[in-house]
Structure 1
């Protein structure tokens, strides 16, 4: 969990971006090696932008393994409501403000077939 890896050093969105890039760089050779060895790997990384999915695609291309990209198609208002509940519970190590949520969701791009992923979409209301 990011809170255990980075603790108090991660207090802003900029910190998240910086540490996520470091984590991806460290994980890439390990995940690629596991996939080449025939081990199934499930990555629960944010793949909400073209850039983040390009990282995943590069791993898949380098490993030559089959894959599935699971896309959760959830309305923004549902996400916002769930975030409010999570923030109010106090059980998550990070609290996301409305402003941060808006900033993050502005960058969201749904996956498309042009990206050459095998996409399974789950639609929620």
Structure 2
């Protein structure tokens, strides 16, 4: 592949309501770039099955398994992808690194380092608006946030950090 036209995989890491989907939309404005977003797919395919965090983990794993070859194909064809799936655990990031290796694409991991208070404030606004595929309670935010692991240099990603962006 011509390195001047090499596809880019944009990966998003940040807690719930940190601004990942907003950043995804901005990144997707670049030429020959598409967004592949977890939430609409999960909602369309599994909404009635997702009642607990364990349900989310199961459904998300199924979706990742199904969508991986598609993302690799897009990247291999020279289409850049903004992968709007949370890169919030080492295991999720390993899945994303597997896509990078298989496709040969370049990548950037965008780390939105936003405080819990700011995320919760945004979450309350988002829940009230009713425009998101899923409403998340404060308790669910706390439970999910316990599993959050900041990306580390030794994982091998090129990291761009955004600190408490408004």
Q: Does the pair score TM above 0.5?
A: yes
SS at match of 1:109: coil
The structure in which a higher percent of residues are strand is 2
- Relative contact order, CA 8 A, sep 6+: which one is greater? 2
Aligned partner (choices 85, 94, 111) of residue 45 of structure 1: 85
Segments ≥4 residues shifted beyond 6 Å:
none
In 1, distance between residues paired with 2:87 and 2:123?
18
Name 1:82's counterpart in structure 2.
122
Aligned residue for 2:75? 35
Q: 2: CA distance between counterparts of 1:19 and 1:118?
A: 28
| Secondary structure of 1:44 counterpart | strand
Which consecutive residues of structure 1, in runs of 5 or more, have no partner in the other structure?
A: none
Matches within 5 A, 1:48-87: 48-87=88-127
Q: How far off is 1:89 after superposition?
A: 2.8
TM-score (normalizing by structure 2): 0.70
Greater fraction helix: 1
Distance in 2, matches of 1:35 and 1:104, equals: 30
CA offset at residue 113 of structure 1?
1.1
Quote the RMSD (CA, aligned, Å): 1.4
